[in-house]
Amino acid sequence: MPAECGSRALHVATCVHLPRVPFFRVVHGPQMNILANTVVTLTFELYDADGMLLESTDGPITYLHGGHSGMLPKLEAALNLKQAGDAVSVDVEPEDGFGDYDPELVKLEAVDRLPPEIEVGMQFEAHTSADDEHGSGTVFTVTDIADGKVVLDGNHPWAGKRLRFDCQIIDVRPATAEEVGHGHVHGAGGHHH
C-alpha cells in the first residue's frame, strides 16, 4: 500500500490513485488573448476617411496571427492581446496601408490594344518587363474610356486613403503546430488539404 494513502485501517477499501492529469478538465476556460500563432476569427467593416463603407466581410474570416497572413501589420498590432467579444477600431494611414497614390502608375492606352469587352471599373493584371515572370503583375483598374483611349490606374484602389477598420473579434484559439508550419489556417475558414 503506498504511503500517500494515509490511514490503512480506514481507507484501505476506498483509496484510489488519481491519474497524474488534472482532475478538472477545463471545458470553457478563460478568454484567450490574440498572440502570435493564434487563429483569429473576426468580421470587419472598412471605411475611408469620409466614413464611406469600402468593404465589409460577408461572414467571419479567419487568419493566423503573427505576420503570416498578409494582414496589415498595423491591424495585427491593434488586434494583439484582444479577446473574443472585443470590438477593435483602428485607423490606418496610407503609409501603413496601401501606400501613397502614385501618379506615375496611371497609364493611357489605345482602346484597340485592350480586350473589346473593356469597361470602366474592370480590373486586370498586367506584367511589365520589370516584373518577375512568375511573380504577380500590377493590377490596373480602368478608370475612364474616351476618344479611343483608356485610362489605366495601377494604384491600389485604397492607395492614398486613410482607412478605418472596425473589427469584431468572434473567436481566438491556439494554432496547431501544423498550421504554424504551413503559415495558414486549416479547417473552417482556412485551407483544406
Select 68 or 161, whichever has its Cβ closest to Zn ion. 68
- Report, in Å, the least distance between residue 69 CB and Zn ion: 13
Q: State the cell numbers at 103.
A: 501618379
Q: Is 11 in the site for Zn ion (CB under 5 A)?
A: no
Select 161 or 184, whichever has its Cβ closest to Zn ion. 184
Separation of CA 144 from chain center: 32
Select 134 or 193, whichever has its Cβ closest to Zn ion. 193
DSSP state of 135: S
* Contacts with Zn ion, 131-170, as mask; x by CB under 5 A: ----------------------------------------
- Report, in Å, the least distance between residue 73 CB and Zn ion: 22
- Report, in Å, the least distance between residue 19 CB and Zn ion: 34
Separation of CA 7 from chain center: 59
By beta carbon distance, the residue nearest Zn ion is 182
Q: Is 191 in the site for Zn ion (CB under 5 A)?
A: yes
DSSP string, 75-125: HHHHHTT-BTT-EEEEEE-GGGTT----GGGEEEEEGGGS-TT--TT-EEE
- Candidate segments 79-87, 99-107, 116-124, 185-193, binder of Zn ion by CB under 5 A: 185-193
- Report, in Å, the least distance between residue 179 CB and Zn ion: 7
- Report, in Å, the least distance between residue 41 CB and Zn ion: 17
Q: In what order do the strands lie in the sheet with 123-126?
A: 106-110, 149-153, 138-146, 123-126
* Contact (CB, 8 A) for 43 and 170: yes
First to last CA, the chain: 52
**Total number of residues that touch Zn ion (CB under 5 A):** 2
Out of 48, 182, 187, 188, the only residue in the binding site for Zn ion (CB under 5 A) is: 182
Q: Going by C-beta distance under 8 Å and a sequence separation of 6 or more, which residues neighbour residue 140?
A: 107, 123, 124, 125, 126, 152, 153, 154
Q: Is 74 in the site for Zn ion (CB under 5 A)?
A: no
- Report, in Å, the least distance between residue 182 CB and Zn ion: 3
* Site residues for Zn ion per CB under 5 A: 182, 191
